[in-house]
């Protein structure tokens, strides 16, 4: 069998996904390809999706701006994708098109890999900074994982309250503004930056200051361009452990690949290799 896989979105010409999935295909000893299927605003989205369906591709990733737009074209949604309200992975299985969201699980897998003890203690206090699509997926995966305290800090409170609704009964969530969050930083064991603040070409900005972060805390930034954001730099200078954004990219891809092929490939040294590509 030959796997036909790819990515839809716009703009995606510089996506790292082909590099990652072609690596995975080799590692799993599978035959296949991963292509870029860019859909721009002049294209008919419906027509482009129909073409992929007719070709009976095995699966594809979905990125900005189509993570919600794809939903009506699918036959089934995985429960997490349904809760999150966004799909980043589609698989053709048993005659049906099914949507998943692998971002949050990818984040948790990458954290588990780098900091296993942090994941085993569900009493660790977590702060998510930001309340966009990525924050939603990460919050959901952490709540499903059993973490008991997951607070959300955001510029716009209403967006954070929307995410807090996803909590399960054992999850406690406070919503904070960015100023309050900055003051409360010493109280968190894991801080996860999910906004686009600090991304190239505005790499000199931070969403809040980490001057008072606890020395034993873990600080994640989902931004990976630059690989070492100013936020991560501040975290390290203040003695915290840092967790790079590109590792989440790898693990969300690992989960997508597993959905398509039933093969769980190991990341091995791919995070170091990806770091070199990005630097």
Interface with ligand ATR (CB under 6 A): 130-135, 154-156, 159, 194-197, 207
Tokens of 112: 């588990």
Catalytic positions are 67
For residue 22, give the nearest of 38, 6, 37 by alpha carbon: 6
Q: What helix, strand, coil percent values describe the chain, rounded to 5?
A: 40, 20, 40
Kindly state the smallest distance separating residue 28's Cβ from ligand ATR, in Å.
29
Of the two residues 162 and 271, which places its CB atom closer to ligand ATR in the complex? 162
203 assigned to a ligand binding site: no
16 assigned to a ligand binding site: yes
133 assigned to a ligand binding site: yes
Strands 89-93 and 96-100: antiparallel
134 assigned to a ligand binding site: yes
Of the two residues 32 and 137, which places its CB atom closer to ligand ATR in the complex? 137
d(CA 31, CA 29): 7
Chain position whose Cβ is nearest to ligand ATR: 132
Phi-psi region of 239 (alpha: psi -120 to 50; beta: other; left: phi over 0): left
245 assigned to a ligand binding site: yes
For residue 244, give the nearest of 109, 106, 88, 110 by alpha carbon: 110
CB 63 within 8 A of CB 12: yes
Of the two residues 102 and 261, which places its CB atom closer to ligand ATR in the complex? 102
Kindly state the smallest distance separating residue 257's Cβ from ligand ATR, in Å.
21
Of the two residues 181 and 213, which places its CB atom closer to ligand ATR in the complex? 181
131 assigned to a ligand binding site: yes
Of the two residues 4 and 15, which places its CB atom closer to ligand ATR in the complex? 15
Kindly state the smallest distance separating residue 276's Cβ from ligand ATR, in Å.
25
Q: Give the annotated binding-site residues.
A: 15-17, 63, 88, 103, 130-134, 222, 224, 245, 252
Q: Give the annotated binding-site residues for shikimate.
A: 15-17, 63, 88, 103, 224, 252
């Amino acid at each position: 069998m030959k796997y036909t896989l790819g990515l839809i979105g716009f703009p995606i010409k510089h996506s790292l996904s082909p590099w990652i999935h072609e690596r995975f295909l080799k590692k799993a000893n599978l035959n296949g390809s991963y292509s870029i299927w860019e859909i721009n605003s002049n294209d008919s989205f419906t027509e482009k999706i129909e073409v992929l369906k007719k070709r009976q591709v095995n699966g594809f990733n979905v990125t900005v701006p189509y993570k919600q737009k794809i939903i009506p074209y699918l036959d089934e949604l995985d429960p997490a994708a349904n809760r999150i309200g966004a799909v980043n992975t589609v698989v053709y299985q048993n005659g049906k098109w099914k949507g998943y969201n692998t971002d949050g699980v990818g984040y948790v897998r990458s954290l588990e890999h780098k900091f296993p003890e942090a994941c085993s203690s569900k009493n660790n206090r977590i702060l998510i900074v930001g309340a966009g699509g990525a924050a939603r997926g990460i919050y959901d995966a952490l709540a499903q994982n059993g973490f008991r305290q997951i607070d959300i800090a955001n510029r716009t409170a209403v967006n954070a309250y929307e995410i807090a609704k996803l909590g399960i009964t054992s999850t406690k969530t406070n919503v904070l503004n960015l100023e309050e969050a900055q003051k409360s930083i010493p109280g968190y064991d894991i801080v996860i930056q999910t906004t686009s603040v600090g991304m190239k070409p505005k790499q000199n900005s931070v969403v809040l200051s980490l001057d008072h972060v606890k020395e034993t805390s873990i600080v994640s930034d989902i931004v990976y361009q630059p690989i070492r954001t100013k936020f991560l730099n501040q975290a390290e200078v203040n003695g915290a452990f840092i967790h790079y954004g590109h590792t989440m990219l790898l693990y969300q891809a690992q989960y997508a690949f597993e959905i398509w092929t039933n093969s769980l490939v190991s990341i091995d040294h791919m995070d170091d290799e990806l770091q070199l590509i990005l630097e």
